[in-house]
Structure formats: structure tokens, C-alpha cells
């Protein structure tokens, strides 16, 4: 992750924000007094929040682990042809 001073950030805020939003490249902004902060796009922040929610939800994590296990064993649910058509948009 790239790091810049708060003065550099202030001078080039438009470019740094554009890079964070279009390239999904987070930016660490440092301050002399401490209290650094990170600039990321709203889309990336929302994605990270969803990931944290799933990782902290033990029930969901158990479902994911069970699904991975049954998938590896090819013993999980097999969609019907109609369901596959719906999934694939056919």
C-alpha cells in the first residue's frame, strides 16, 4: 500500500481519490502527530465490511466449510437442468 503525508494528500487530493476509486488502490495518509488514516473507495469498504461480517459469523463459516467439503466429495446438492438454466441465464 502506498503511503503519503497529509500535506501531499491535501495537495493532490483529486488524483489520490481518483486512484483509490478507479484502481481500487488504498492509500495510507500519515500525519506527524500520528492518527494515520486510509483512503479507500466506498465500494471497497462495503466489500470489506461484508467479508468481515461473514468471517465473524460462525454459522455462515460452518455452512461455507460444509459446502466446500461436500463439493470436494461431489456429494452436495446438484441443481436441476431448469435451475442451471436460470443460474446461467439461458
Domains of the chain: 2-40 (3.40.1620.10), 50-76 (no CATH)
43 pairs with which residues across the strands? none
Instruction: Say whether 89 sits in a helix, a strand or coil.
Output: coil
Record the pTM.
0.66
Per-residue cell: 16: 489520490
pLDDT at 76: 85
CA–CA separation, 75 and 67 (whole Å): 10
pLDDT-flagged residues of the chain (< 50): none
> What is the share, in percent, of the chain residues with pLDDT greater than 70?
100
pLDDT at 54: 92
- As a whole number, the mean pLDDT across the chain is 94
Amino acid at each position: 500500500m502506498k503511503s503519503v503525508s497529509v500535506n501531499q494528500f491535501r495537495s493532490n487530493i483529486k488524483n489520490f481519490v481518483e486512484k483509490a476509486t478507479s484502481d481500487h488502490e488504498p492509500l495510507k495518509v500519515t500525519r506527524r502527530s500520528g492518527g494515520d488514516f486510509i483512503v479507500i473507495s466506498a465500494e471497497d469498504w462495503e466489500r470489506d465490511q461484508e467479508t468481515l461480517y461473514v468471517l465473524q459469523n460462525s454459522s455462515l463459516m460452518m455452512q461455507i466449510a460444509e459446502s466446500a467439503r461436500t463439493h470436494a466429495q461431489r456429494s452436495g446438492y446438484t441443481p436441476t437442468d431448469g435451475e442451471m438454466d436460470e443460474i446461467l441465464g439461458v
